[in-house]
Amino acid sequence: MKSIVLPIALAVALATPLAAQRPTPPAPPPLDPQVAAMRDAALAGDTVAWDIVEGITTEVGPRMAGTEAEARARAWGLAKLTALGFKNVRIETTKMRTWVRGGETAEVISPFPQKLRLTALGSSGATPPEGLTAEIVYFPTFGDLQAAPDGSLKGKIAFVSNAMVATQDGSSYGSFGSARFVGPNLAAKKGAAAMIIRSIGSDHGRGPHTGQTNFEKGVTPIPAAALSTSDADNLSRMVKRGKPVTLHLTLTPRDLGMTETGNVIGEVPGTDPAAGLIVVGGHLDSWDLGTGAIDDGAGIAITAAAAKRFLDGPPPRRTIRVVWFGDEETGGAGSDAYFAAHKDEPHALAAESDFGADRVWRFAVALPDGAKAVGDRLQVALAPLGIVRSKEKAGDGADIEPLVKAGVSVVDLNQSGTRYFDYHHTPEDTLERIDPVQLRQNVAAWTAMLAVVANAPEALVKPK
Ligand code: ZN
Ligand code: ZN
């Protein structure tokens, strides 16, 4: 038998007791009993978040940005925040380019005739009213589509079938999502007549996942749709049998031109205006297939429910401003309008909730150098909820992106993504997906976070 020779450094490390290798971590800061009390009260008994998400899904339902349904959602939001006791409640409107769904059908003509379930992607172009018939060109991955020679897709339907898998941190959405975000634009530039993708989702059902796609200026939008994961896998199996596959596709979405959208805003006034304001929120709009429960009824509910707890107790040092952004899904007119109107106000910190209603498992911060202790206090306040600290720098959220880019401090409260993409942007995004126990854990986390940051004695507004 060959003897194993350990490198000296490794041999020494193995021989040294563990305690001697690691410096003793500094003692954590004490937990403010007021923070703990507010957190625990939310965890035990919050009903406001459920009331909001149940209310908006029941009384408004689907609310595509820029449509009359979003206008009804704004009116609903104004009434709700007013009834909850928020101050300075108002709607701030802006204009946006609005796309709406039409008819959408697909069937395999040959070699195995059958109907397929799909849904148009936001910004998709339209087929002729009678539809189009073309052969598909199959790409297992987005990279394969990128490698296709220019002009090689002329008159064809490009089909990218990459299969997203779920991860707790949701990062696979970014890596698999390119097929949707930019695939149709690329296929259009290569001459394709249309493009279909396997839904960017982790389920195995027949409910397709919609979502926005983006065409560059100068590229004419082609019809673009997502097959349900099940239908995409079926179509992939047909391709693998080796014969040309011909599809008949009908998509008739419309562009409504410029219409109105708007943000709904309410505040918990603080005692020290010079300390800056805290912005929290999510987006009011939703896709049209479900009722927008996890995306993002939950986010507006969680953030408003946490802020509401400061209306019922001693006022916070910093004003807490709740913003329900009007358009996030189809281009972000809501966040652009908010930033244009409020960028000169002293923003101390921003945080967004837009990842469903499952439990918060991790947090991250981006704070000024002089406020590092705030992160340590958050760690102590959030640990009893099973929330760990990330080493990554915070900065999540499309709605607060302009603020983050401008250097405003951020806290991310990351929710578990293990089942979010089973339902994301599908007909199954309904109230049944919300677990009230996990929803309360979210409200408790947001309450604790706000209790720490809104009352922090450190300076949070970065000097201009
Ligand atoms: Zn969202
Ligand atoms: Zn969404």
Q: How confident is the model at residue 463 (pLDDT cuts 50, 70, 90)?
A: confident
Average pLDDT over residues 296-310: 98
- If you measure from the C-alpha of residue 137 to the centroid of ligand 1, how many angstroms do you get, rounded to a whole number? 31
Q: What is the pTM of this model?
A: 0.94
pLDDT of amino acid 462 = 81
Please name every residue paired with 322 in a beta bridge, in sequence order, or none if there are none: 266, 280
Average pLDDT over residues 181-189: 98
- If you measure from the C-alpha of residue 30 to the centroid of ligand 1, how many angstroms do you get, rounded to a whole number? 35
**pLDDT beyond 50 at 235:** yes
pLDDT of amino acid 117 = 98
Residues with CB under 5 A from ligand 1 (ion): 295-296, 354
pLDDT of amino acid 17 = 57
The rounded radius of gyration (Å) of the Cα atoms in the chain is 25
Share of the chain above pLDDT 90, in %: 93
| Contact in structure between 196 and 100 (CB atoms under 8 Å) | no
| Contact in structure between 297 and 307 (CB atoms under 8 Å) | no
Domains identified in the chain and CATH numbers: 33-99+257-453 (3.40.630.10), 102-252 (3.50.30.30)
- Note the ligand closest to the C-alpha atom of 415: 1
**pLDDT beyond 80 at 10:** no
pLDDT of amino acid 388 = 98
Establish how many alpha carbons lie within 13 A of residue 200's alpha carbon, considering only the half-sphere containing its beta carbon: 25
- Note the ligand closest to the C-alpha atom of 300: 1
Least confident of 93-102, 210-219, 454-463: 454-463
- If you measure from the C-alpha of residue 419 to the centroid of ligand 2, how many angstroms do you get, rounded to a whole number? 14
pLDDT of amino acid 5 = 47
pLDDT of amino acid 27 = 87
**pLDDT beyond 70 at 386:** yes
pLDDT of amino acid 245 = 98
- If you measure from the C-alpha of residue 175 to the centroid of ligand 1, how many angstroms do you get, rounded to a whole number? 17
**Comparison of pLDDT for 7 and 160, the residue scoring more:** 160
For residue 228 the two structure tokens come to: 């349900």
- Note the ligand closest to the C-alpha atom of 298: 1
d(CA 129, CA 456) in angstroms, rounded, equals 59
pLDDT of amino acid 410 = 98
- Note the ligand closest to the C-alpha atom of 334: 1
- If you measure from the C-alpha of residue 330 to the centroid of ligand 2, how many angstroms do you get, rounded to a whole number? 9
Average pLDDT over residues 272-294: 98
- If you measure from the C-alpha of residue 337 to the centroid of ligand 2, how many angstroms do you get, rounded to a whole number? 19
Q: Please provide the average confidence, as pLDDT, over all residues in the chain.
A: 95
Share of the chain above pLDDT 70, in %: 95
Catalytic residues, which ones?
Answer: 328
Q: How confident is the model at residue 164 (pLDDT cuts 50, 70, 90)?
A: very high
- If you measure from the C-alpha of residue 394 to the centroid of ligand 2, how many angstroms do you get, rounded to a whole number? 20
pLDDT of amino acid 25 = 78
pLDDT of amino acid 75 = 98
d(CA 131, CA 109) in angstroms, rounded, equals 13
Average pLDDT over residues 72-83: 98
